[in-house]
Amino acid sequence: MGAHTSRTAPRDLRETAHAAQVRELTAAGALDDPLWRAAFAAVPRHVFVPYFWTGRGAGHERLWAEDPDPERRARWLRGVYTDAPLATRLRDGELLSSSSQPSLMARMLEALEVRDGDNVLEIGAGTGYNAALLCHRLGEDLVTTVDLDEEITESARRHLAAIGYHPAVITGDGARGCPSRAPFDRIMVTCTLPIVPPAWLGQCRPGARILAPLSTGLIALTVQGPDLAEGRFLHTPAYFVPLRGSTASPPRASEGLPYELVENERLQFMLVLTEGVLHPREALDLWRREGRPSRERFGVTVGATGQWSWLDDPQGPYVWPLGEARG
């Protein structure tokens, strides 16, 4: 096996699995942009996920690259190059960090609409994989990634260095951004928010774009100044680990709603977005009355005096205080 130990999947198997995933993502329409396609082809996911956890509760199982059992190593490699999120860090059974679903990552990166020379802040370092893709596209000097957990940032830094990237990897509260690396042209968030941290706006250039998971969707905000940003949700559903350092509201229980409606993803999005403002039955009536609106009809305004979500028009009849701003 040459330079490979008996406990490591041979390089050609990893390269084959990597190339197959890029082809699959391209065929699925997740990599329409040739520049991002080249980034995914250049950055191997297995470097950033040397192990991951499967199962739930007491049934958690760790699969890793150096397992002495060849079948378990093969399961690790198959898992790494499956289009699925992977749990990479647990603490007392709680998920702290994961490697996001590659097709969702690709769609988010394309939706970020980066341009050559853009300075990008990533909130949520994770494994470092997303930062590596940004480094390939923009250059490491234009990439900053922040995470609250020192173990996560140290691991991400190590993974990035293994393939020759050295962006700024900062240990700190992502809700505070990173003033020392500002101003930013793009902020990409890989953890779910209860509200948009106001500090980010002041660290952005006018016209900057913020792409962040909120409720169960992705909000794309255009920053108009240090006290104003506004935008609509994309059609893509998104489920991420909550941002630590702020308090995220749990999804509502939807008591009293028929099961088939509780399972409706569009309705669940609206229920979470209007939680604490509309009762489930009120939200259901509005949702039906307005033609079962999709995510793209909803938006968010971040202003100096608060934050609001809205349906169709920020000046229209359906406007609700957002998240912690409700209090």
Q: Please indicate whether residue 256 or residue 232 has the higher confidence score (pLDDT).
A: 232
What pLDDT does residue 146 have? Answer: 98
Distance CA 302, CA 130 (A): 26
| pTM for this entry | 0.90
Q: Using one digit for the tens of pLDDT, what is the confidence trace for 122-181?
A: 999 999 999 999 999 999 999 999 999 999 999 999 999 999 999 999 999 999 999 999
DSSP string, 197-221: -THHHHTEEEEEEEEEEETTEEEEE
Nearest to 100 by CA among 130, 136, 74: 130
Q: Using one digit for the tens of pLDDT, what is the confidence trace for 76-87?
A: 999 999 999 999
Number of alpha carbons in the 13 Å side-chain half-sphere of residue 325: 22
Catalytic residue among 97, 100, 215, 254: 97
Distance CA 147, CA 187 (A): 14
Q: Is the dihedral of CA 127, 202, 311, 286 positive or negative?
A: positive
Cα dihedral: 66, 68, 72, 73 (round 10): 40
Is residue 97 annotated as part of the catalytic site, yes or no? Answer: yes
Residue 5 pLDDT level (bands cut at 50, 70, 90): very low
Q: Using one digit for the tens of pLDDT, what is the confidence trace for 233-287?
A: 999 988 888 776 544 444 444 555 555 555 688 888 998 899 889 988 899 999 9
What pLDDT does residue 320 have? Answer: 96
Stretch 100-109: mean pLDDT: 96
Percent of the chain topping pLDDT 90? 75
DSSP string, 255-306: TTS-HHHHT-HHHHHHHHHTTTTS-HHHHHHHHHHTTS--GGGEEEEEETTE
